[in-house]
Amino acid sequence: MGATAKGSLFHKEKTAVRLPSFEQVKDDRVLYAHASRLLHQESNPGNARPLVQRHGNKELWLNPPPIPLTTPEMDGVYDLPYARAPHPAYGEAKIAAWEMIRFSVNIMRGCFGGCSFCSITEHEGRIIQNRSEGSILRELETIRDKTRGFTGIVSDLGGPTANMYRLACKDPKTESLCRRPSCVYPDVCKNLNTDHTPLIELYRKARALPGIKKVHIASGLRYDLAVRNPAYVKELATHHVGGYLKIAPEHTEAGPLSKMMKPGIGTYDAFKTMFDKFAREAGKELYLIPYFIAAHPGTTDEDMMNLALWLKKNGYRADQVQTFLPSPMSLSAAMYHSGRNPLRPVRRSGSEEVFSAKGLTQRRLHKAFLRYHDAENWPILREALKRMGRADLIGPGKHHLIPNWQPAGTGLAGGEGVRAGRKHGTQKFYTQHTTQSRRPGLSPRKKRPAAG
């Protein structure tokens, strides 16, 4: 195909992409994965083409993503006179979602991370849309002056990600032509501006406002970006973390990480070293709360075992964990359903297959590995480790994953996910450090009964 002909295929004004019909993707998992790949390839408003799909005797036309809002347009949206309160019809009812956000400020929209289990890019766009400092500071003053119950503590300055404020491609033309699904995977793009200086300056101005005592950062942090900005990590550790900072490595093993489009665990280790250093310099006792996902597509029993060994080696104990659930429009959901990898070309034969733990027994096992320290899980973990040829990890030593003894009255219910109240619903991943004082609200550890 000549250059002119090939270029015309990507001319957004003249070309539309036809997806396999609804009836085809409904019945054919390979075509479903192919359609998902096509959808995600058309996510850049600078070059995305319309998508067309036949549904019975009708055609569905999906327009390309809209052009991102400019900063003045974002300010126009956020400067509207919102009531900043639930509808009066709710009366004095406690609304959990409102309690979480009422003292927080959204400083941006969008995400260029491209994590395959997430659909924020499809909802908010891959190009960051930023508010101005003035708009953000005005909202903080409004919260201070008008929001009932405000005590001077701002719960969050963030968005889909804590630290993508004012980050963008260095060259608008390059940005408009780019078709990469992520600006940070498999590595941070050389064309991405990763300077966190505007965000540091925003934090400082927010802290300086009269009546503002503390500004927390509660949105998830992209540590692969933060580690490139030591000054930002220092600012964060010194002023904006109240004890724990959420961070999401999601896994330790290359297999599942490659399907999630997340950086290797070495990047997490580099960030932790930097964060701990600045916390010590600030005279603070701060800890990271790493989030992990069990049973994500591409995860084997061995991957979960290695993650459990990493958790034990690093002194983490998961209080609540999250098992993968397919979410609408995400690439991970396409992997789970189709058994193919839509991050690569999908063909009837020869395309990469992806294993997913779908059976209840295996999903419970993957979740149990994350909670290796819970005696309720030890029987199924012992059975699994023996089956995997890793009985060497069963025993009383520190190098063992689980003991070869069982506390009386435990391990009878069948392990993770079987006990009452734990079977349904997404659970967060909280951790406790075995070398620190315990986080309030955690149940006491079970002690090994005395011998005899």
Could you report the per-residue pLDDT of 416-441, keeping only the tens digit for each? Answer: 766 544 444 434 455 555 544 334 33
pLDDT at 432: 53
Find all residues with CB under 8 Å of 339, minimum gap 6, and list them: 29, 353, 354, 355, 356
Start-end of H helices in 67-132: 71-78, 96-101, 120-124
Higher pLDDT, 82 or 7: 82
DSSP-based three-state secondary structure for 431: strand
- CA pair distance 291, 244, nearest whole angstrom: 12
- CA pair distance 66, 78, nearest whole angstrom: 19
CA 329 → CA 100, 141, 215, 406, distances in Å? 26, 37, 34, 43
pLDDT at 282: 97
State pTM to two decimals: 0.88
Which ranges in the chain are annotated with CATH 3.30.750.210?
A: 72-281
pLDDT at 162: 96
Structure confidence at residue 355 as a pLDDT band (50, 70, 90): very high
| Average pLDDT estimate for 148-176 | 96
pLDDT tens string 386-406: 999 999 999 999 999 999 999
Tokens of 103: 């003292």
pLDDT at 9: 56
Tokens of 62: 């999906």
- 72-281 sits in which CATH class? alpha beta
